[in-house]
Amino acid sequence: MLGLSKNSSKENENQERLTSEEWGEIYNPESIKPIAEGLKRGELNFQSKEMLKLSCENEKVLEIGCGTGGTSCCLALNGRIVTALDYSKNALLCAEGVAKEMGVSLNTVFADAMKELPFAENEFDVAFQAGLLEHFEQEERINLLKNWGRNVRMGGRMVSIIPNAASIAYRTGKAMMEQKGTWRYGLELPQYSLQGEFASAGFCVLKEYTIGAEHALNFLPEKFWLRKAMTRWLKENPTGDDCGQGYLLVTVGEKKY
């Protein structure tokens, strides 16, 4: 039986964060055409859809750890002034390639998110990361949010989008892949909430919720009993909400000092 509690789970055992080179093998220029073609068809991933809701036209937006650049390019296509930062050169090449394919203006910056960012204080209206903070321990997460917060204007927003620890389908599938040795993403620490970290870093939490409950099922084998059960539950769910089963945890904070 798979243990899913914080104390009993063997998730992440003996795992380390991936290096920039290892991330570059996952996010690389081979992804340019598929991502650009998807954007042209209007096929947006969960984080892109959410960031469109959480930002406005003409706002200056910073993506920290841009990966393929798909979300940054989606925001640029929709009138945001976007800067995409990553410490993987391959990832930035991918982001630049997608921007070129889409014909949008995208400022890309090669920098380490763990160090002071090369921007002016209060430069951005919105800063966000989608899939970065879960690779760090709690104190590291707080320090990173504090560091990034210097570049967000007073009253501006910080958005975090990371895997949700309460998602039974995602957590179970992740643990199964780790046991089989097929997990690709190194150390990944899903969280139940980041409200404490946001408060410690100087942000007032405006809201926190989950998205992508159906996507979480993709972490499970197609014929696995839990996937079948969760699929049926999502279709017949009488509660009116996803009961926190979304794959991604979204935390939105406002800079207060």
Mean of pLDDT values over 48-72: 97
Percent of the chain with pLDDT over 70: 95
Top-level class of domain 20-164+190-213+240-255: alpha beta
Mean pLDDT of the chain: 93
Give the bridge partners for 254, in sequence order: 157, 204
Specify the pLDDT at position 240.
87
Over the stretch 214-242, which tens digit does the pLDDT of each residue have? 999 999 999 999 999 999 999 999 998 99
Specify the pLDDT at position 215.
96
Mean of pLDDT values over 121-135: 97
Residue 211 above 60 pLDDT? yes
Residue 1 above 70 pLDDT? no
For 31, 78, 163, 183, 229, the CA distances from 174, given in Å and listed in that order, are: 23, 34, 11, 7, 17
Element (H, E) at 39: helix 32-40
Query: In the structure, what pLDDT confidence band is assigned to residue 26 with cuts at 50, 70 and 90?
Result: confident
How far is Cα 84 from Cα 67, in angstroms, rounded to an integer? 9
Nearest alpha-carbon partner for 173 in 211, 132, 225: 225
Over the stretch 159-208, which tens digit does the pLDDT of each residue have? 999 999 999 999 999 999 999 999 999 999 999 999 999 999 999 999 99
Contacts of 251 (CB under 8 A, 6+ apart): 159, 160, 193, 194, 195, 198, 205, 207, 208
Confidence (pTM):
0.93
Over the stretch 141-160, which tens digit does the pLDDT of each residue have? 999 999 999 999 999 999 99
Backbone angles phi, psi at 129, to 5 degrees: -135, 140
Tokens for 55?
Answer: 């930002």
Residue 244 above 50 pLDDT? yes
Tell me the pairing of strands 248-255 and 81-86: unpaired
How far is Cα 53 from Cα 94, in angstroms, rounded to an integer? 24
- What 3-state DSSP class applies to 77? helix
For 7, 51, 84, 135, 204, the CA distances from 106, given in Å and listed in that order, are: 43, 16, 7, 26, 29
Mean of pLDDT values over 243-247: 96
| Other residues' Cβ atoms within 10 Å of the Cβ of residue 18 | 18
Mean of pLDDT values over 91-113: 97
Residue 24 above 90 pLDDT? no
Nearest alpha-carbon partner for 25 in 59, 67, 75: 67
Nearest alpha-carbon partner for 210 in 170, 173, 175: 170
For 141, 161, 162, 228, the CA distances from 251, given in Å and listed in that order, are: 13, 7, 9, 29
Specify the pLDDT at position 192.
98
